[in-house]
């Protein structure tokens, strides 16, 4: 029997690999001769870098960059030396959680630190980039990131257009000659799970701006600035990507990656499953084991465990899921490819006790053991 395990983290309790190793322990108790493969799992959002650093034996690189409001912030990314790959979350350098509510200002918030993080990784030797762009504090169209990578943006007087969302309306010309030459040696794959265009009522500013501090009175002006940036970009680069699905992600950062860097925008779960080589292991697997902290109806709408299930079903593997908790709505997961799912809690307990790392490990191992005794 070959079993492939890919469980998302049980946030606040077990990491993806810790959960996977606990499940492996239980499976081997039930069937000592089973071949059990454990892979890290994430969906491109928060926790992706940590999951892949641990699961792919990567190195954590810590550095200080320009934060979203201009002050220095500490951030990190993962470095997989064997494949010259950097695993990044833009939120580490320009995330909304880095800015207190009273300080949110989309006119000034910048992605400059994201560019600094990328430049640092290129100097280290990274040539393949996997970047999650969820959770941004910015609405700058990625102009900050691009400036950190050597692109120059000028106003009608030939002066630097500035930073943040306020700069977009001022951009009149673009100079790409001084961009970091290492960019042309790199491939960029961007985890993007939204379909929004850059501008308009379904664009970056109108849909995601309010959570970043964009008030109703500023929406039209900021959106117009984004449209200006798009127009000048199209004239300078010879192609208009503003209407492509996903370019509105992260306040237009998706647009900057696609138009200027030549990046590929990919649904997060597809990107991560490909990065960890899960499909190759599933080709001859009998059973796939997946799960997360809480299985509910939202899991069936494309979250990481369902991504595993869909891939496993392509190779006729049975799919079993384990979770800290399940809801009535989790039955939707059965229609999404998960053959059966099980909560790992074994008795009445407090949330604190259930999330204790040692308890969670024991519960996961015990639950998987009993299911695999039946299998």
Q: What is the pTM of this model?
A: 0.88
CATH code, 205: 3.90.1510.10
**Domain shared by 194 and 55, yes or no:** yes
Same domain, residue pair 119 and 224:
yes
Residue 217's pLDDT is what? Answer: 85
Looking at 249, 268, 287, the residue that finishes a domain is 268
Number of structural domains found in the chain: 2
Query: Is 218 a residue whose pLDDT tops 90?
Result: no
pLDDT for position 323 = 96
Note whether 229 and 336 are same-domain residues: no
Q: Are residues 207 and 147 in the same domain?
A: yes
What pLDDT is attached to residue 11?
85
Q: Is residue 15 located within the same domain as residue 138?
A: no
Q: Mean pLDDT throughout 321-338?
A: 95
Determine the pLDDT at residue 47.
Answer: 85
| Domain span including residue 168 | 48-268
Is residue 85 located within the same domain as residue 175?
yes
The reply to whether 246 and 283 lie within a common domain is: no
Share of the chain above pLDDT 70, in %: 100
Q: Which has the minimum average pLDDT: 292-306, 322-336, 349-363?
A: 292-306
10 and 74 assigned to the same domain: no
Q: Is the dihedral of CA 26, 30, 32, 34 positive or negative?
A: negative
Co-location of 28 and 113 in the same domain: no
For residue 45, what pLDDT is reported?
A: 81
149 and 215 in a single domain? The answer is yes
CATH number, residue 15: 3.40.50.10350
What does pLDDT average to over the chain?
Answer: 95
Domain boundary among 215, 250, 268: 268
Cβ proximity of 196 and 246 under 8 Å: yes
pLDDT for residue 83 is more than 90: yes
Q: Are residue 141 and residue 256 in the same domain, yes or no?
A: yes
Average pLDDT on 151-175 reads 97
Average pLDDT score over residue span 82-86? 96
Q: Pick the last residue of a domain from 223, 250, 268.
A: 268
pLDDT in tens, 293-329: 999 998 887 789 999 999 999 999 999 999 999 999 9
pLDDT at 12 (0 to 100): 86
Residues 261 and 285 reside in one and the same domain = no
């Amino acid at each position: 029997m070959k079993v492939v395990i890919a469980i998302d983290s049980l946030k606040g309790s077990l990491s993806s690999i810790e959960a996977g190793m606990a499940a492996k322990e239980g499976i081997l108790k039930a069937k000592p001769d089973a071949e059990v493969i454990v892979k890290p799992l994430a969906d491109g959002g928060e926790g992706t870098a940590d999951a892949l650093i641990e699961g792919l034996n990567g190195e954590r690189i810590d550095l200080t960059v320009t934060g979203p409001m201009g002050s220095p912030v500490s951030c990190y990314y993962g470095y997989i030396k064997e494949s010259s790959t950097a695993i990044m979350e833009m939120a580490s350098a320009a995330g909304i959680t880095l800015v207190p509510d009273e300080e949110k200002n989309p006119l000034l918030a910048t992605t400059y630190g994201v560019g600094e993080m990328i430049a640092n990784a290129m100097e280290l030797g990274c040539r393949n980039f996997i970047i999650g762009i969820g959770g941004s504090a910015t609405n700058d169209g990625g102009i900050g990131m691009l400036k950190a990578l050597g692109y120059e943006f000028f106003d009608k007087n030939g002066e630097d257009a500035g930073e943040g969302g306020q700069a977009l309306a001022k951009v009149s010309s673009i100079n790409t000659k001084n961009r970091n030459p290492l960019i042309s040696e790199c491939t960029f794959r961007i985890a993007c799970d939204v379909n929004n265009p850059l501008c308009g009522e379904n664009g970056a500013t109108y849909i995601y701006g309010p959570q970043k501090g964009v008030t109703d009175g500023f929406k039209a002006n900021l959106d117009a600035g984004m449209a200006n940036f798009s127009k000048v970009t199209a004239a300078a680069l010879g192609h208009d990507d503003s209407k492509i699905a996903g370019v509105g992600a992260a306040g237009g950062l998706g647009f900057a990656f696609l138009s200027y860097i030549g990046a590929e925008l990919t649904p997060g779960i597809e990107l991560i499953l490909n990065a960890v080589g899960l499909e190759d292991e599933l080709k001859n697997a009998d059973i796939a084991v997946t799960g997360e902290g809480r299985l509910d109806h939202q899991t069936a709408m494309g979250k990481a465990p369902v991504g595993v299930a869909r891939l496993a079903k392509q190779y006729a593997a049975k799919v079993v899921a384990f979770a800290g908790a399940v809801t009535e709505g989790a039955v939707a997961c059965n229609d999404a490819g998960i053959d059966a799912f099980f909560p790992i809690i074994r008795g009445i307990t407090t949330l604190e006790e259930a999330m204790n790392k040692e308890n969670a490990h024991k519960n996961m191992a015990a639950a998987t053991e009993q299911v695999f005794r039946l299998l």
